[in-house]
Chains A and B, each alone.
Chain A
Amino acid sequence: MIEGRARSAGPAADGGEGDWEHFAHGADIGVRGRGATAAQAFEQAALALTAVVTDPALVRQAAAVSIRCRAPGLELLLYDWLNTLVFHMATQHLLFSAFDVRITDGDLEAEARGELVDVERHAPVVEVKGATFTELVVRRHDDGRWLAQCVLDV
């Protein structure tokens, strides 16, 4: 299990850290983000997405992309968020390592920061085809912390 912990750029209610991990899916791979807020869990899930391709620590913050998504429900919003990142990664040949997500009433506004793929330095493992509905969960636990996860098709 690859996992990581990073102070999220997003507003965390308790100022705590988010974390992410991968989980196994037969042919592919699951991404799971946790945080003090749904926004922070989304940021961590996005870091887990990058980690499927390369080590996020290798990705400099040299370029920024603004993203807006709107969906009926947080789970569809996570689907849209991750798939919008996949779209920008594919069309602009970018990798992202920092995210600032704000979620208000089904609207997501975000900035994703990263840089162009450098095959030598990043040694990218695999391209992500898309985020799926498989194991798609966004949930607030009893302790108040948020979980955001789904399986990626790679």
Chain B
Amino acid sequence: MNREGMHRDGDYRWVIEPTGDMRVPAVLYADEVLLDDMDDKVRWQLCNVASLPGIVGAAYAMPDAHWGYGFPIGGVAAFDAEAGGVVSAGGVGFDISCGVRTLVSACTRDEIAGVQAALAHELARAIPAGVGSTGRLRLSDREMDAMLTGGARWAVAQGYGSSDDLAHIEEFGCITGADPDALSQRARDRQRDEMGTLGSGNHYLEVQCIAEVFDRAAAAAFGLEQGRVVVSIHCGSRGLGHQVGTDYLRDMVIAAPSHGLQLPDRELACAPIRSSLGQRYLGAMRAAMNCALANRQILTHLCRESFRRILPGFDGHLLYDVSHNICKEEMHDVNGTKRRLHVHRKGATRAFGPAHGAVPEAMRDHGQPVLIGGSMGTASYVLAGAATGEALSWSSACHGAGRSMSRHQATKQWHGRTVVDELAARGILIRSPSLRGVAEEAPGAYKSVDRVVDVAERAGLARKVARLEPLICVKG
């Protein structure tokens, strides 16, 4: 990335002061290696975000930032409705409420070793994944409305998982303010047979082993013990969320002039929070978030069933479920005053620090669990929100490794079969219907997740709690 006009503020913070239409600075969290690897388009997109009306503080880029749509992936920005702030469909993206949830089991790596292939086979059979896959559920209009307003609570009431799960989900399993009437018929149609499906691309269900614990006290509170097996599920609101993004991006682009908005990039499509369109989008986006929470809850149930077929007595309890593509209304300290902000996190994870009321009580002393996805063959991490995070990034941290090369470059460099075989030789079983898909998602196509989380910790965004290594990865 071109560093012209950028100054360093500490070891891991880089600041671009406002110029031109920018209303606030652009701030990037990175070390020199990550910064050099970032595309100049990240800088361009972050400066565009900094020019949007009602933005507060700064436009932030997380250590895993890369070129996205309107916002960079790994972008965070907060807007104040009182100050004419906007909500941006582009700032949330197509995969609304894409996120990670992690289940913790009492099984050890050794107990899994003897049944690893059978478990991989069973999970691949039971978890609908990939293009054309469908779930078992078919929802009527009334049932879909209930799902869209009830989220994971709705799923638990239908028999998927237990009520104990809900305390360990962002918003306790259900975000308020969802408006099913703000969804198009197309959005509903796209979800008819997609409840309880994983999707494709970088979405996965992964069986992992806790390889290293960094913070013993936090790990104990989170129920994480070295050598134990966990399961992480990475997916979002499926077709319904994709269609909400498609519909509202279009509406916001067309309506921008009537709201007096001159967009530096159409993909930044937004509307004033206080406008009718802004409110409709927030209602639709929250419905999509509930859809994502319900979807991950159903997948959790399917996963537990599969484990129990192979390992009777398996009990995977939920560590946490947190989204990384979402706009949330939150109270934050702004220069000593509490203000209600609409915080956009596009490829960034909410990371509330210790003592925050939104964190489950048993973990509150240590901060919110922050779940960082790996990239098939590389480590994942559990972090904890840091007290310093609010002032640095509205309590936000990274979300994963971030791609370092395009899908085409990846398919030129790797063959899917070779990737599968090499990972199998390392004890990692990959199950996917598409070998080209495996090649596109090859671990080498991503940045070093280890470096990303190290920088997140050193920058004060979150603290490392545990590192997870993959054993089985089911991909779409």
List residues of chain A with CB under 8 Å of any chain B CB: 1-2, 22, 24-29, 53, 72, 76, 79-80, 83, 86-87, 90-91, 93, 116-117, 119, 122-127, 129-134, 136, 151, 153-154
Contact = CB atoms under 8 A, between A and B. Distances in A.
A123 B436 contact: yes
B408 A22 contact: yes
A116 B134 CA distance: 13
Given A130-B243, A154-B201, 15 more contacts: A29-B407, A91-B192, A93-B134, A116-B132, A117-B132, A125-B131, A126-B201, A126-B476, A129-B245, A130-B245, A133-B69, A133-B265, A133-B267, A136-B266, A154-B200
Contacts of B476: 126-127
Interface string B169-195: 000000000000000001001101010
B94 A26 contact: no
A26 B132 contact: no
B250 A76 contact: yes
Interface hub of A2, A79, A133 (most chain B Cβ within 10 A): A133
B66 A26 contact: yes
Contacts of A80: 250
Given A26-B67, A53-B131, A134-B69, A126 B437 contact: yes
3 A-B pairs with least C-beta separation: A124-B131, A26-B67, A117-B132
B73 interface: yes
27 contacts: A1-B408, A26-B39, A26-B41, A26-B67, A26-B68, A27-B403, A76-B254, A87-B190, A90-B239, A91-B239, A119-B132, A123-B433, A123-B436, A124-B130, A125-B434, A125-B436, A125-B440, A127-B199, A127-B200, A129-B245, A131-B246, A132-B267, A133-B90, A134-B69, A153-B69, A153-B93, A154-B201
A151 B69 contact: yes
Contacts of A24: 406-409
Contacts, number: 126
A123 B266 contact: no
Contact of B249 (A87, A125, A133, A154): A133
Interface of B: 39, 41, 66-70, 73, 90, 93-95, 130-132, 134, 186, 189-190, 192, 194, 199-201, 239, 242-243, 245-246, 249-250, 253-254, 265-267, 269, 402-403, 406-409, 433-437, 440, 476
B242 A129 contact: yes
A78 to B, nearest CB: 12
Nearest to A29: B407
Contacts of B131: 53, 117, 119, 122, 124-127
A133 B189 contact: no
Contacts of B253: 76, 133
A2 B406 contact: no
Nearest to A72: B254
Given A22-B408, A79-B250, A133-B267, A87 B243 contact: yes
B266 A133 contact: yes
